[in-house]
Structure 1
Amino acid sequence: MVCSQRSTGARRLLLSLLLIAAWEAGSGQVHYSVQEEAKHGTFVGRIAQDLGLELAELVPRLFRVASKGRGDLLEVNLQNGILFVNSRIDREELCGRRAECSIHLEVMVERPLKLFHVEVEVKDINDNPPRFLRQEQRLFILESRTVDSRFPLEGAFDMDIGANAELRYKLNSNEHFHLDVKTNEEGTNSLGLVLTKPVDREETQELRLLLIAVDGGKPELTGTVQLLINVLDANDNAPEFDKSVYNVRLLENTPNGTLVIKLNASDADEGINKEIVYLFSNLVLDNVKSKFTINSNSGEITVKGELDYEDCNLYEINIDAVDKSPFPLTGHCKVIVKLLDENDNTPEMAVTSPSLPVKEDAPPGTVIALISLSDRDSGANGQVTCTLSPHVPFKLVSTFKNYYSLVLDSALDREKVSHYESVVTARDGGSPSLSSTASLSVEVADVNDNAPLFAQPEYTVFVKENNPPGRHIFTVSARDSDAQENARVSYSLVERRVGERALSSYVSVHAESGQVSALQPLDHEELELLQFQVSARDAGEPPLGSTVTLRVFVLDENDNAPALLPPAPGGPGGAVSELVSRSVGAGHVVAKVRAVDADSGYNAWLSYELLPAAGGARSPFRVGLYTGEISTTRALEEADSPRQRLLVLVKDHGEPALMATATVLLSLVDSGQAPKASWRASSGPVNAEAALVDVNVYLIIAICAVSSLLVLSLLLYTALRCSASPTEGACGPGKPVLVCSSAVGSWSYSQQRRQRVCSGEGPPKTDLMAFSPSLPQGPSSEDNPRQPNPDWRYSASLRAGMHSSVHLEEAGILRAGPGGSDQQWPTVSSATPEPEAGEVSPPVGAGVNSNSWTFKYGPGNPKQSGPGELPDKFIIPGSPAIISIRQEPTNSQIDKSDFITFGKKEETKKKKKKKKGNKTQEKKEKGNSTTDNSDQ
């Protein structure tokens, strides 16, 4: 067999070396060389230095070397970074007789992951001598053979390559034969003995020669074989072939029975000496005989076994043509069968995954997997390309020959895609091409890149006061898109001060469930709104967090009974004492009970009730239902008891209602002995009366001064506007001028049409208006109780009876809490029973003077103003004046009742009676007088 005997000439070796050098220049990889059979520890190269790695980082970065195939041939000393020979390297065992033989190393370091390719070329040494397949070769030569007859010999083979495998032959000196060596077009040697002197069987029947094969290595190695030549008796002509060498090209995988070649030899003899038999030469090896067979009669060589180009691509078959003479002569030829490669091997693929799973914050370019490809075919059939599908955030990068790296191409987000399935396809360049696939599963590892999020930035919670300690009031919940520990959320309070105390003394939050609990009973009178933040933080590294705001409204409950205000404690036994003249008429106010309630809304709405006397006698006094004013129901008589003891029940409107009682002691005296009724203080009745008279005088003076100043200002303003436009025939409407504004509302007045003023029909008129501020609408739910408006409650000054203060929040406007619209205080009319009149008594509650400002509705205006509209009536405690507001008519006619008047109630009523004999107005006034005399 010449498949293992091929030698490479100097030209082919030089060409191979040039190709290797050109590839090395373009690959950019580290290249070393080492001779085969080098001893253990032989220096190969400073691999760490050449790769740009520091010696100190080899161990921490897990420096390791791997090679395809045997991995123990080379090793790296981690102390000095030197690559050395670890075990015996036999080039012939590693690469056979291939011209190129290299060990490919994959060097990997982590933190970060990097991959290097190192090629170590194994150089051949002359360590294999030429070998003959047989120790002895036997030849049969007819004595009648002529000079220059050639007899083929089996040559030797050398496992080395290049010059070490270039063989030359020598034959020991003799007189009959010399050695002939020819090189055919396939690059193989054809060896034969040439007869130089005829042999004579009678002289010599057997000759022994020594054939020596010498290689081209240094030092030279030799191999020998014994040639045993038997001289046969005469047969004049031996069979002859048309050619000495036949070349046949055959596809691999050719089926059995396929004809390879039909040989034809001729013999010049006659008879039986002309008949020829074709046989395999005894030089043909058994593996060739297992692949081919020859028909001894026809000379046809056919395929017998499986032909595989990857196992052997060249077969040399020596054929003998022997005649049938008793002393046969033999003709010789050689058939060289060269196999052609077919694309019959699919690409092979090996995938290693050193970086799975991949963190979602891995930067683009991170190596995820290593892919190595191989194909046993040759040429285009063995050229393999690699593709990736479907569309995934990865790409393939060719790193070295048939090596690829799967690297990250774009950013990952585990919360969007946590798992990728991709298919790597390897396809060769054959026609048709063959391919193989490998599935690659890539898991995306989570990193803490998402903070816990609440469903909304703030929540409104309503809790009734006097709750039991530890009551659950709300549950906060935040969602984290991460996984495992990065998604485990814990909750905590954002600590702050609430007044003089820490927030944690009021509420607590469960770290795991997010349940918010009240640690102590909440008191609406102490704390109406508790606003705080809850923080949600995950368990990632580093942890991320967010906050949510909780607005806890403490709802009022009726837990405070009405409390009586001074001067109730000043009288004897805690009673109010007053002197009443017997000459007073019906409806005269003789005393007033003052009380406040610490609650809010209806729970603080107080009503007054006069309890019946013990004896069942009818009392000549009554108490205002909502004012607490005690007045006479009729004129006092001599028969009435000089000392009247009245019990007034003060009750709120809560559920259940709470109450308190006040005792009022009235002393009936003659008209000459009784001073003006006044409150009795603890120091005596005279001092209290004097103090009250002083206060009323100051109030009357102040109100009159302000009213006069306002009227004068309006007259002056109207005159200036009319004089500023002399060309106009009438005064046009002026723009509203702002008088006063506050957080509660805005007061303004607008000048009426100047036409009325200039025509002299009456004094200048103005409209006084109050605007309620727009309040944001809060969340409301049927499941959550509605928060009462804190504006229901009186200010501290009103509770104490400070009459000089004017609080717009007490002015009859009820602004609801979150989710509620503007409403009006519940009031009781003291002027007229007709709802259309719109005159309203002071707001319900304690500590309000009866001399209150009353706002009247204009004709046709509704009692209740909708959201965003101008309120129709206002009650401002602490002032004896009456203010009437009427909305401006839509037409040009303006009624005199649209004017605003200032003064006491009695003066206002007198002026109304004098105006044009308005019967409707007189009915209203009579109705007001009747209502004043009735029980409220």
Structure 2
Amino acid sequence: TFLYCVSVTGDLTLSYPLDYEDTTIPHSTVLQIRAYDNDRVHSTTAKITVDLTDSNDNPPQCNGYFYFTQLAETTPIGTLVKALNCWDNDLTGPNNAITYTMVADKFSANKFQLTKNQITVIKKIVLHNVVCVGPENLEYDDLAFAGTDFVHRLAVTVSDGGIPSLESVATIIIKVIPVNEWRPNSVANTFTVLENSVIGTLVGTVKFTDTDWPFNNVKYSITGGDIGIPPKFYIDPATGNIQVLHKLDFETETQYSMKVQAVDLNNDLQPDPKRQKTSVASVIVNILNVNDEPPVCNPEYYETLIYSTIKTPFLQLKCNDKDSLDREINYVIIAGNVNNRFELQRPNAEPPSVATTQSFQYHVFQGIQDPTDFELLIEVTDELDGNKALRQTSTATVIIHVVPWTTTQATTTLNTTTVQITTSVIVRASYFWTPTGWFVAALVITGVLLLLCLYGVAWCLFKDMHRICC
């Protein structure tokens, strides 16, 4: 028996602990107790029934209290994450009514749902105080979630219905595995760069966005388009910076177009080139004109013959500039215009013409005497878009040979009304010989040597005469 009676006091106590859930222990026991007097002569018998009642003395138990699992971020809605297997050794009555309660961290509250003992992937949405159930996949691509090392932590409390209620706690750790879901995305890019940019100049940066973690982790490359021969541009594979690779020339090409490809990297748990995603963006680079080309006259040297009586423009310059328009080119006579006999006439935007300003003066005793040969030096200056700081200048030379013409005045006869005008043409050829520098030097040296020789001969003669006389 599990009871015994103390003879002195009559107290009935347990001889060892009882367990209602132990099937070897009866739930009801009938005891007969005999009481004696001090001499043990007289006695009496009492019958006692002892009923063993159930009490909530066993907390719920589970197969395990710590679980770890891995789920891809694309795990479908409704996927079973974990089914807890728990029980309570208090077999009968309300003490065996086990309930489950889930406590999730802030990143897990809208990702998982507990139904009885099963945890599934789901999202709860509250609209107008009404709980609606809507799908939401696990999300790996979250900067804040990255701070938790991409781990969801769930705590499930398992309680019985006893008084007081006893409970146990099971912890579930869910590691989210990344999946490369999205392609890099970019809009069309347009950049501008000066044609005189040095090699290495930054043209612009192509931006691709990739919402897979790690964000925007892509590799760039130029895969097509027109980038010149040899290639004029280079793209940094890591940053997407486009840089000048070879000299640019606005006069040769004003625009380049290219295709830039972005390949995402490290968006899967195990890098797999076959799972990488690519996108292509169009990039246009406009070349900005810079005044780096001087004006060019073709030819640079002009030579012409005119008569001194000419009154109209007689020579038009042929100049152009690769950078500037015709109207942006200026012309000025800077040298050789003796007595200001010539000017540049420019009625429109075309290159000007050389013209005379007044009659030439020849064969006069007093006043201005004009030369017959002029060498005009004309300065040609461009001015791109009105920018005077970057002017480019060249020159053109015009040699003009003037043929003098003279005209006699009309003579009149008093006896008649007839006027006779006689015109004569006088052509004078002038020949001038101008020694060259080497000829003058040779002539001087020869003269000096001749003088030295004469001096030597005279000295010898004088010496011989002195001997004879002596």
* Alignment TM-score, normalising by the size of structure 1: 0.35
1:821-842 deviations in Å (ceiling 9; x for gaps): xxxxxxxxxxxxxxxxxxxxxx
1:622-650 deviations in Å (ceiling 9; x for gaps): 12487422233334444544443322121
Match of residue 97 from structure 2: 383
Contact 2:101 2:114 (8 Å CA) reproduced? yes
Q: Cα distance, 1:360 vs. partner? A: 0.9
Q: Cα distance, 1:419 vs. partner? A: 4.4
What is the aligned-residue RMSD (CA, Å)?
A: 3.7
Match of residue 5 from structure 2: 294
Contact 1:352 1:370 (8 Å CA) reproduced? no
**Matched residues in 2 for 1:487 and 1:354: separation?**
34
Q: 1:325 to 1:651 in 2, by over 3 A?
A: closer
How many residues are matched? 361
**Matched residues in 2 for 1:489 and 1:362: separation?**
25
Q: Cα distance, 1:384 vs. partner? A: 0.7
Instruction: Look up the SS of the partner of 2:169 in the other structure.
Output: strand
**Matched residues in 2 for 1:672 and 1:528: separation?**
58
Instruction: Look up the SS of the partner of 2:95 in the other structure.
Output: helix
**Matched residues in 2 for 1:421 and 1:449: separation?**
24
Contact 2:59 2:160 (8 Å CA) reproduced? yes
Q: Cα distance, 1:303 vs. partner? A: 5.2
Q: How does 1:147-162 map to 2 (within 5 A)?
A: none
Match of residue 225 from structure 2: 496
2:343 to 599, 622, 643: 622
Instruction: Look up the SS of the partner of 1:376 in the other structure.
Output: coil
Match of residue 464 from structure 1: 194
Match of residue 611 from structure 1: 334
Contact 1:355 1:368 (8 Å CA) reproduced? no
Q: Cα distance, 1:605 vs. partner? A: 3.0
Q: Is 1:372 matched up with 2:104?
A: no
Q: 1:347 to 1:535 in 2, by over 3 A?
A: same
Contact 2:66 2:171 (8 Å CA) reproduced? no
Q: Is 1:557 matched up with 2:293?
A: no
Q: Cα distance, 1:345 vs. partner? A: 2.8
Report the residue type matching 1:556 in the other structure: N
1:445 to 151, 158, 177: 177
Match of residue 599 from structure 1: 323
Q: 1:392 to 1:423 in 2, by over 3 A?
A: farther
Contact 1:529 1:554 (8 Å CA) reproduced? yes
**Matched residues in 2 for 1:352 and 1:320: separation?**
49
**Matched residues in 2 for 1:670 and 1:516: separation?**
67
Q: 1:452 to 1:475 in 2, by over 3 A?
A: same
Q: Cα distance, 1:551 vs. partner? A: 2.8
Q: Cα distance, 1:346 vs. partner? A: 2.7
**Matched residues in 1 for 2:406 and 2:102: separation?**
118
* Alignment TM-score, normalising by the size of structure 2: 0.65
Q: Is 1:634 matched up with 2:361?
A: no
Q: Cα distance, 1:552 vs. partner? A: 2.2
Match of residue 582 from structure 1: 309
1:530 to 248, 252, 256: 256
Q: Is 1:666 matched up with 2:400?
A: yes
Instruction: Look up the SS of the partner of 2:52 in the other structure.
Output: strand
Match of residue 380 from structure 2: 650
Match of residue 362 from structure 1: 75
Report the residue type matching 1:449 in the other structure: E
Q: Cα distance, 1:489 vs. partner? A: 1.5
Contact 1:458 1:550 (8 Å CA) reproduced? yes
Contact 1:313 1:340 (8 Å CA) reproduced? no
Q: Cα distance, 1:506 vs. partner? A: 1.9
Contact 2:88 2:96 (8 Å CA) reproduced? yes
Q: 1:580 to 1:294 in 2, by over 3 A?
A: farther
Q: How does 1:766-845 map to 2 (within 5 A)?
A: none
**Matched residues in 2 for 1:330 and 1:601: separation?**
143
**Matched residues in 2 for 1:508 and 1:618: separation?**
60
Q: Cα distance, 1:493 vs. partner? A: 0.9
Contact 1:375 1:384 (8 Å CA) reproduced? yes
Q: Cα distance, 1:491 vs. partner? A: 0.8
Instruction: Look up the SS of the partner of 1:346 in the other structure.
Output: coil
Q: Cα distance, 1:532 vs. partner? A: 1.9
Contact 2:210 2:216 (8 Å CA) reproduced? yes
Q: 1:321 to 1:656 in 2, by over 3 A?
A: closer
Contact 1:583 1:636 (8 Å CA) reproduced? no
Contact 1:452 1:538 (8 Å CA) reproduced? yes
Q: How does 1:65-104 map to 2 (within 5 A)?
A: none
Q: 1:624 to 1:438 in 2, by over 3 A?
A: farther
Contact 2:71 2:177 (8 Å CA) reproduced? yes
1:346-402 deviations in Å (ceiling 9; x for gaps): 32344577772321101123232231111121222012122334543222355xxxx
Match of residue 20 from structure 2: 309
**Matched residues in 1 for 2:169 and 2:332: separation?**
98
Q: 1:443 to 1:383 in 2, by over 3 A?
A: same
**Matched residues in 1 for 2:261 and 2:234: separation?**
12
**Matched residues in 2 for 1:519 and 1:370: separation?**
62
Q: Which runs of no fewer than 5 residues in structure 1 stay unpaired?
A: 1-283, 399-403, 674-936
Q: 1:428 to 1:327 in 2, by over 3 A?
A: closer
Q: Is 1:507 matched up with 2:218?
A: no
1:484-522 deviations in Å (ceiling 9; x for gaps): 5x86311111322456x47xx222212223232222111
Q: Cα distance, 1:299 vs. partner? A: 4.7
Contact 2:305 2:403 (8 Å CA) reproduced? no
Q: 1:344 to 1:353 in 2, by over 3 A?
A: closer
Structure with greater Cα Rg = 1
Report the residue type matching 2:284 in the other structure: R
Contact 2:189 2:282 (8 Å CA) reproduced? yes
**Matched residues in 1 for 2:37 and 2:344: separation?**
162
Percent identical across equivalent pairs?
24
Report the residue type matching 1:665 in the other structure: I
Report the residue type matching 2:352 in the other structure: G
1:481 to 211, 219, 222: 211
Q: 1:510 to 1:352 in 2, by over 3 A?
A: farther
Q: How does 1:892-911 map to 2 (within 5 A)?
A: none
Contact 1:583 1:671 (8 Å CA) reproduced? no
Instruction: Look up the SS of the partner of 1:661 in the other structure.
Output: strand
Contact 2:68 2:174 (8 Å CA) reproduced? no
Contact 1:322 1:328 (8 Å CA) reproduced? no
**Matched residues in 2 for 1:432 and 1:606: separation?**
103
Match of residue 412 from structure 1: 138
Q: Is 1:394 matched up with 2:112?
A: yes
Q: Cα distance, 1:596 vs. partner? A: 0.7
**Matched residues in 1 for 2:216 and 2:292: separation?**
45
Report the residue type matching 2:199 in the other structure: P
**Matched residues in 1 for 2:226 and 2:406: separation?**
63
Report the residue type matching 1:465 in the other structure: E
Greater share of strand residues, 1 or 2? 2
Report the residue type matching 1:577 in the other structure: T
Q: How does 1:828-907 map to 2 (within 5 A)?
A: none
Report the residue type matching 2:295 in the other structure: P
Q: 1:600 to 1:508 in 2, by over 3 A?
A: same
Contact 1:463 1:554 (8 Å CA) reproduced? yes
**Matched residues in 2 for 1:382 and 1:544: separation?**
54
Contact 2:65 2:169 (8 Å CA) reproduced? no
Contact 2:67 2:172 (8 Å CA) reproduced? no
Match of residue 345 from structure 1: 58
